[in-house]
Structure formats: structure tokens, C-alpha cells
Amino acid sequence: DAGVIQSPRHEVTEMGQEVTLRCKPISGHDYLFWYRQTMMRGLELLIYFNNNVPIDDSGMPEDRFSAKMPNASFSTLKIQPSEPRDSAVYFCASSFGGYSNQPQHFGDGTRLSIL
């Protein structure tokens, strides 16, 4: 079975540009999570969806960040305008059930560098 697929794997762009990160969850999973990983702050939960509906976006750092899930097989995380402090590895994860012993399955992450 295919795992969680993220694209691109690496993204380098200049400050002020719009950045779009993409995620395809595992088929059948009803929860999707976006995380950001940095050395300083570790792994932070940004937002999560249940059945394509955003449930909690309290981790989104500011209005420059937005996430959508138009259908069960696709989600995007956008940053507009991007800033150097947004540089991090962004992970998408999916799971079956938000409250269960089923683990979150992670994609390989997108390493984002904002110059």
C-alpha cells in the first residue's frame, strides 16, 4: 500500500513568494495532520482535519498560513507571503480514527528553505 505522499520533497524559494505544500493521505484514513519540525521548537501540530473538515487550527502560526482539504485524497498547506523564519521541515500525517491506538502515518516531509 502506498504511504502518505508529500510533494515537493525540497523547496527553496525567496522571501515573499507563495509556497504550496501538497499531501496525499493513505486511502481510507479519515484524519489528516500537518506538522512543522524545527530544531528550536521540535514537532509542532499546525492543523488537523477530520473527514476533510478542519477541526483545530490553533497551531497555525499566523494568517500567512492556510490549509485546505478539498477531498479525502488531497490537502495543501500554503504560506503567503513566505518569510525566512518559515524555513523548516513540514510533515503531513494521516490516521484512521483521531482517538485510537492507530498511529499516525507520516509522509517523508518537505524541507522548505526561504531565502
Partner 1 sequence: AQTVTQSQPEMSVQEAETVTLSCTYDTSESDYYLFWYKQPPSRQMILVIRQEAYKQQNATENRFSVNFQKAAKSFSLKISDSQLGDAAMYFCAYRSASWPGRFGAGTRLTVKP
Contact 67, 10 (CB under 8 A): no
Q: Which residues contact 71 (CB under 8 A, 6 or more apart)?
A: 52
Task: State the number of binding residues for partner 1 (CB under 8 A).
Answer: 21
Site for partner 1 in 31-50 (CB under 8 A): 31, 33, 35, 42-43, 45, 48
Closer residue to partner 1 (CB): 6 or 82? 6
Residue 101 is a binding residue for partner 1 (CB under 8 A)? yes
Contact 8, 109 (CB under 8 A): no
Residue 98 is a binding residue for partner 1 (CB under 8 A)? yes
Using CB under 8 A, which of 19, 82, 109, 112 touches partner 1? Answer: 109
Q: Facing residues of 65 across strands?
A: 79
Q: Which residues contact 79 (CB under 8 A, 6 or more apart)?
A: 18, 19, 64, 65, 86, 112
Residue 90 CB, nearest approach to partner 1 (Å): 11
Closer residue to partner 1 (CB): 14 or 26? 26
